[in-house]
Every structure is written in C-alpha cells, then in structure tokens.
Amino acid sequence: MVQNGREETLESRKQKPEDKLKPDQMKTAIVHPPGLLEIAAYGLFFSGTFVGPQFPLARFRAFVNGEFLENGQVRVTGLMPSLGRFVAGCFYAVIHQWGAMWIPSEYFNTREFFVCFAFVFVDIRDYWFGWLMPSLGRFVAGCFYAVIHQWGAMWIPSEYFNTREFFLASMMLYQFWEKNSCNFLILAEDSSLEYVALPLTEPEGAAILSGIAYNGKDENGSDRWDGVRDVHILRYEFGMDFQSVIDSFNVGTNTFAKKFLFY
C-alpha cells in the first residue's frame, strides 16, 4: 500500500496539469521521485510499520524537513495527547487480557455462543417454556419489577414518561442497545486488542509524540494532533449504526486507500 501510494502521488502530478488537480491532490502529489533510502525510511517508519494508519509521502517529507517543529524542537503540546492515546490503548489491552480469562476465543465458534446470541436477539419468551420451575421464575420476575418500580418512583416521577425528553432518550437507548448488546461480549476478547489497542498505542501515540501527527491549529489557536488519526474512540463505542463504525475506525488507512488506490 505504501508503494502504491507513492506511485499514485507521483503519477497524478506527472499526468495532470496543476489546474486539473483537486485540492487534496495538490497537497499530496510529489514532483521529485524518492530514492531508495527515502523509500526505506518512509516504508519502515516506526509509527506505521506494523499497523495503520498510512499517511502520504508528502506528510513524511514535511516531517523530515522540520515543517512540524516549533523553534527547531518537537512541539511539547503533543505530550499529553500522545500519553492519552497510550493510556487508552493500554486500557483496551487490559480489558482484552481480563476478558480472555473468562471468555476464550474458541467460545465464539461454539454452539453455546450462538444460542446466547439467539437468546438475546430472537425471542426470549421461547426459552421459558420447558424450564423446571417456570412458576417460580415468574414470581421472582414479578418481585423484581415491583422493587424496581418502588425504587424508581423515588427518582423518576410518573409524569416524566409523558414528556418529549423521555421519548428521545428511549429512542437513543434502543438504538444503542440494538447495536452493542452482543458487541460487549465480543469486544473483551476480540476487537479490543487487535483493532483498538494496537492502533492507539503503537502508531497514533508514537506519531503524536514524534510530531508527524501535527495538523495545524484549531479555531482557538491550539495545536491539532489528528493528522494520522485512525480511531475515534467515543464515536466507535457509542455509534448507533454500522456507518458510525466505518466513520470512526481505520480512518487514516481508509482515507489513504481512497485517495491513492481508488481515486
């Protein structure tokens, strides 16, 4: 992918006049082809060697030429964002290791997991029939709801359920549950390490600390460090549909592929 990206940035500049290039092509296109040493440095740069994100050669050259420095030094404002990404990655790695103690990877290929999946998403009432003591189960459920009602009435009055705020909150909660009810089980074992922990700790944190992730300043004049952002954590965790997963995960690599492979 790195090689293809290098070729595409070079070819787009050679084959098209400047007035035919799009704004993002003007930023990433290169005139002078890199040598073997620069190719090796670009392809083996430590913040993008093992996992994404990918970034264009133009950004790497700007980084090497010191365009992202401040008074000849790496910007100190990148320390805390880099540490934040590192801590977030460690958190996901810990969740993965803790979850592996309780839910091994093989469990997700077993009949029991698919039964659990069906129990959550199909119709749980079907699983009550044939139980040893169904009447006791109904009694316990009734007591549970009675306790919840008495406890909840202390905090939420009955009039609240006729308000617009309750309707909006219930719709958001339903969408969140529909998307994430079974993802919570899989997250602890599967995606938390490979798809979230590694992009946060290895490339993003290192890219911010080295300075290559510098992306100018925001409207308040503060430094932005999302130049090679690959995961938007909150959007990834709390998105309400599959599109939110696409928009929040593998962002840098997807953008790289869109511009240099499928443009």
Neighbours of 103 (CB within 10 A): 16
d(Cα 11, Cα 4) in Å, to the nearest integer?
10
User: Scanning the structure block, which residue is given the tokens 């459920």?
Assistant: 141
Contact status, residue 245 vs residue 186, Cβ threshold 8 Å: no
- For residue 189, what pLDDT is reported? 47
Query: Tokens representing 103?
Result: 């839910």
Q: What is the pTM of this model?
A: 0.60
Q: 171-179 long-range contacts, Cβ below 8 Å, gap at least 24?
A: 172/240, 175/240, 175/241, 176/238, 176/240, 179/239, 179/240, 179/241, 179/242
* Residue 72 falls in which region: left (phi positive, over 0), alpha (psi -120 to 50) or beta: left
How many CA atoms, within 13 angstroms, populate the side-chain half-sphere of residue 107? 16
Write down the domain spans for the chain. 41-231
Q: What is the largest CA-CA distance in the chain?
A: 79
- Return the SS3 of 231: strand
- For residue 200, what pLDDT is reported? 59
Q: Within its chain, how far is the Cα of 113 from the centroid? A: 25
Q: Which of 198, 188, 194 is nearest to 96 (CA)?
A: 188
> Measured on CA atoms in the order 119, 124, 130, 134, is the torsion positive or negative?
positive
d(Cα 15, Cα 23) in Å, to the nearest integer?
16
In DSSP terms, which residues pair with 70 in a beta bridge? Answer: 73
Q: Tens-digit pLDDT profile for the chain (263 aa)? A: 444 444 445 444 455 666 667 777 777 777 788 889 998 898 888 877 766 677 888 889 999 999 999 888 889 899 999 888 888 888 887 887 787 777 777 777 787 777 666 655 554 444 444 454 566 666 666 677 677 766 776 777 767 767 777 667 766 665 555 555 545 445 444 454 555 556 655 578 888 888 898 999 988 899 999 888 888 888 877 776 778 777 888 887 777 777 777 66
- For residue 64, what pLDDT is reported? 92
Contacts of 55 (CB under 8 A, 6+ apart): 48, 212, 227, 228, 252, 256
- For residue 113, what pLDDT is reported? 72
Q: Within its chain, how far is the Cα of 74 from the centroid? A: 26
d(Cα 42, Cα 36) in Å, to the nearest integer?
10
d(Cα 109, Cα 112) in Å, to the nearest integer?
9
DSSP designation for 65: T
- For residue 62, what pLDDT is reported? 92
Contact status, residue 252 vs residue 229, Cβ threshold 8 Å: yes
